[in-house]
Structure 1
Amino acid sequence: MTSTPGRGLLHLAAAVDQTGADSADSYVELARLAESGGLDFVTLDDGPSPPGPDALRVLARAAPATRRIGLVATVAAGPAEPWLVPAGVAGLERESRGRAGWRVREPARAAVLPAPAPPPAEEAPSSRDPVRVVDATDPPDRAAAARYADVALVRVAGSAQAGVVRTELRSLAAGFGRNPDALRVLAGLVVDLGDGERGSEQGWGAPLLAPVRGLGRGGRRSAARGPLFRGGPVDLAELIAAWHEDGTADGFHLTPVDPRRDLERVVNGTVALLQHRGRFRTFYPGGTLREHLGLSRTGARLRAGGG
C-alpha cells in the first residue's frame, strides 16, 4: 500500500448505528464487515437504554469477534461520576488489545481520559492508550479537538471548506505544542448508496453533496447530521480520492443511511475500487488502532495537566 504523493495514508471509518436492532449480534456483524474492508475503525453511539445500545458493552462483544478493526464508542462522561466512562473505555482497550477509542460527546471533556499506565510486558507496547475522537465541526470545539484529540471529525459540504478546517486544526495543535502530524482529520459524510451511479452526469460532484438534518425510513439511521452523499460506490470512491489528493482531509468517517445495504456497498464497491487503484491499504499494518492510524502511543497530545 502506498500513500498519495505528498499526502499521508488514507483513513476510512464507518458508523454502525442502527434503528430497531434487538441484539448486539447485528452490530458485531457490521463491525466484521467493516473489518473485511480494512477500515480503520467503526463508531457506535451510546443510546438511552432501552431502546438504544450500550455502546461499550456492545463493542466489548465485538472485540473477541474481530481481530484488527478499531472499536470507538460515543459515550458521554457524566458530571456525577466522570471516571465511569474512562474506566469503561480502558476496559474495552484491554479486551480488544489496543483497538479501543472514545468518541467524546462533549468536546470540552476531551481531557477526562487519564494518562495510561505502562502496559504489562506481555501486551503490545502501543496498547493501553485509547484513541480519542472529537467532533470539531463547530468552531468553539476546535481548540479542545486540537489539544486533546487523536482524530478530529468535521462535517463540511465541500473540499475547500474541509481544507480550511484541517489547516485551522493543525495550526491550533501546533500552538498547543503538538506535532500537527499527530492529529488525523476525517471528513464526515452521511452516505446513501441506493440510487446508483451518477458519474456520467455533467457536474456529478456538486449535486451529490447536500445538507441533511434528518433521515429515517424503516431501518435506516435517523437524526443523522452533516452533508449527505447520494450516488453509487464508484462515485463515492472518486470523491474520497479527490478530497484526499487535495490534502483537505486525512480520510472519511461514513455514516450509512441504510447500514446493512450501504456498508456492504462501501466495502465491496468503494473500498475495493480504492484498493485496486492503490489508494487504500489491502491489509492492516498492525494490531492496534494507533498503528492503523499511524499514531505513536500518546503521540504529542497534551494531557489535562499539560503533560
Structure 2
Amino acid sequence: MSSLLHLAAALDQPDVQDAGSYVELARLAERGGLDFVTLEDSPDPPGTDALAVLCRVAPATRRIGLVPTLTTTHTAPYRVRAAVATLDRLGRGRAGWRVDVSGDTEEARPSGGRPAAPDGTPRYGTGEETGSATRPWEGREDGTAVRPGGGAVVRDPAAGRLPGHDRAHPAGSAATALQDGGPMPLPGPVPGDCVRVVDATDERTWSGAARHADVALVRAATPARAVAVRDELRARAAGHGRRPDTLRVLVSLFVDLGDGEYAAAPGHGGGGPRPTARGPLYRGGPVDLAELVASWHADGVTDGFHLLPAEPRRDLERLVNGTVALLQHRGLFRTFYPGSTLREHLGLAAPAYRTAPRGKAEHR
C-alpha cells in the first residue's frame, strides 16, 4: 500500500449540459490535489457525453486525471481506444478509462452497435474486455510505438498507410464481446500508459480486474468488507504474475455533506457508512469524513476513496476545503502534484512492453 492516500471524485451532475460547469468542478478538485475525477456517460440524448465533456475539461486543467466511463459492449474497441488516446493527448498523459459493459440492447441503438448477449443478460467480462480492448497499446510486433512529442515509429510511405499498420495487433478477441478485428486507426498513448479503472464490486469482475486493472473501485460499507475484497483482488493479481501492490483499490462512497460542520448522523460518519440501494452512504460533515478516511487508511483497509457527492457543487467544495485540507494538515494527503501524469499521481510505473523489439525502427 502506498504511504499517502489516493482520493478521487465523481463530477456527475444530473441534467447539467453546460461543459463550463464541469470545468469549474474539475478545477476545484484539482485545487484539492485529487488524483482524478470520473464522469459517467449516457447513451440517451440529452445525456452527458463523458468523453466530449472531459475533452473540454482537459485544456482548462493542468494536473488532475480525467477518467470517463466508456462502454465497450456496443462500441467497436478501436473507436474506444482512439477516443481515450485523443483525451490523453489533450491532457498530456492524464487520461484514464473507466471500463463498462452493458447488456441493454437499447444502448446499442444510438451508436448502431452490437446487440446484447443472446440471453439478454449483462456481460460481466469487464476486466477481460479491458485487456482485450487495450492490448494494441502495449506494443507493435516490432516493439515500437508513437510517443507524445515524438518517438520511434515504423514508416512505410510507399504503402500510404499509418506507421506499423500491417504489424499492429488485432483489436478483437473471440473470447469476449469484442469481436472487431481491425487495428487502431490512430496512434495511442505511450504503450500501456492508459490507466484502466474497473468497478470491482461484483464478484464476477474480480478475475478480470485483478489481471488488467490499474485501479479497482469497490463499494464497501464496512472496513471488514473493504479489506476482504482488496485482499482477494491482490491475491488474484499475484496469481496472474502481477505485483499485488501495483493494483490500487479504492472504496467508492456516496457522500452527503449537507450537515456542514455538524456531527455525523447516527449510522453515518463516525459510525461508518450506511448501506443503501445505491451503495454505501456517508452523511455528516467534512471533519467526520476526514476521520473516517484517515482511520480506514491507517488500518490498512484501502488505498484511498472514490467519493460520489450527493450535491456535486456543494459537497465537492466542502470536501476540498474541509476534508482534504484536514488530511493534508495531518500529512496524509499531498499538498501538490509531484508529477504531471495520472500514473505518477497513483504511484504507478508505466508497464513494460509485452512484445520484444524486432527489426529496425525509423525515427520521426
The 3-state SS of whatever aligns with 2:201 is coil
Unaligned segments of structure 2, at least 5 residues: 102-125, 140-144, 152-188, 356-364
Q: Structure 1: how far apart are the matches of 2:266 and 2:76?
A: 55
1:44 and 2:71 matched: no
Q: Aligned equivalents of 1:237 and 1:230: distance in 2? A: 12
Distance 1:61 1:78 in 2: 25
Q: Which residue of 1 aligns with 2:244?
A: 180
Residues 190-248 of structure 1 show CA distances to partners (whole Å, capped at 9, x for unaligned) of 000002445488886565511222xxxxxxxxxxx210000000010000000100111
What 5-or-longer segments of structure 1 have no aligned partner? 1-5, 214-224
Equivalent residue for 2:349, pick from 288, 293, 296: 296
- Distance in 2, matches of 1:228 and 1:243, equals 15
Letter in 2 for 1:39: L
Query: Are positions 1:83 and 2:54 aligned together?
Result: no
Question: What is the CA–CA distance in structure 2 between the aligned matches of 1:146 and 1:283, rounded to whole Å?
Answer: 30
261-270 or 24-33, larger mean C-alpha shift:
24-33
Kindly report which structure 2 residues correspond to 1:261-276, keeping only aligned pairs within 5 A, or say none: 261-276=314-329
Match of 1:247 in 2: 300
CA contact (8 A) 1:137 1:155 kept: yes
Inter-partner Cα distance in structure 2 for 1:229 and 1:200 = 8
Aligned with 2:230: secondary structure?
helix
Alignment check: 8 A CA contact 2:4 2:333 kept: yes
Aligned length: 284
The answer for the alignment partner of 2:180 in structure 1 is none
Instruction: Report if aligned partners of 2:265, 2:283 keep a CA contact under 8 Å in 1.
Output: no
2:130 to 76, 85, 110: 110
Q: TM-score, normalised by structure 2?
A: 0.73
Shift >2 Å, 4+ stretches:
114-124, 196-208
Q: Report the 3-state secondary structure (helix = DSSP H, G, I; strand = E; otherwise coil) of the residue aligned with 1:83.
A: helix
Amino acid at match of 1:120: R
Does residue 28 of structure 2 align to residue 33 of structure 1?
Answer: yes
- Secondary structure, counterpart of 1:226 in structure 2: coil
Asked if 1 retains the 8 angstrom alpha-carbon contact of 2:264 and 2:270, the reply is: no
CA change 1:226–1:299 in 2 (3 A) is: farther
Q: Residue 166 of structure 1 contacts residue 249 of structure 1 at CA under 8 Å; is this kept in 2?
A: yes
* 2:128 is the counterpart of 1:101: no
* Structure-2 change in CA distance of 1:178 and 1:257 (3 Å): same
Question: Which of 269, 273, 285 is equivalent to 1:232?
Answer: 285
For residue 339 of structure 2, what is the aligned residue in structure 1? 286
Within 1, Cα distance between the matches of 2:300 and 2:91?
32
* Cα shift at 1:149: 0.2
- Aligned to 2:308, the other structure's residue is in SS state strand
Equivalences for residues 43-82 of structure 1 within 5 A = 43-79=38-74, 81-82=76-77
Partner amino acid, structure 2, of 1:279: L
- Listed as ranges, the matches of 1:86-235 within 5 Å are 86-106=81-101, 107=126, 108-111=128-131, 112-114=133-135, 115-116=137-138, 118-120=145-147, 122=149, 128=190, 129-197=193-261, 199=263, 205=269, 207-213=271-277, 225-235=278-288
Q: TM-score, normalised by structure 1?
A: 0.86
| CA deviations over 1:225-273 (Å, ceiling 9, x no partner) | 2100000000100000001001110000000000000000000000001
Given that 2:258 and 2:284 are in contact with CA atoms closer than 8 Å, whether structure 1 keeps it comes out as yes
CA deviation after TM superposition for structure 1 residue 120, in Å: 3.2
CA shift in 2, pair 1:77/1:240, >3 Å: same
Residues 145 and 36 (structure 1), Cα distance of their counterparts in 2 relative to 1, 3 Å cut: same
CA displacement at 1:131 relative to structure 2: 0.3
Distance 1:34 1:201 in 2: 26
1:218 is matched with which residue? Answer: none
Shift in CA distance, 41/121, structure 1 to aligned 2, threshold 3 Å: closer
Return the alpha-carbon distance in structure 2 between the equivalents of residues 182 and 238 of structure 1. Answer: 26
Q: CA deviation at 1:38?
A: 0.1
Q: Percent identity?
A: 61
Alignment RMSD, CA only? 2.3
CA pair 121-236 structure 1, distance change in 2 beyond 3 A? closer
Q: What displacement does 1:94 show? A: 1.1
CA distance in 2 between partners of 1:279 and 1:205 (Å): 19
Larger Rg: 2
Between the aligned partners of 1:186 and 1:36, the Cα distance in structure 2 is 21
Question: Could you list the per-position Cα deviations for residues 258-301 of structure 1 after superposition, in whole angstroms to 9, with x for gaps in the alignment?
Answer: 0000000000000001001111010001000000000011279x
Matches of 2:7 and 2:147, distance apart in 1: 30
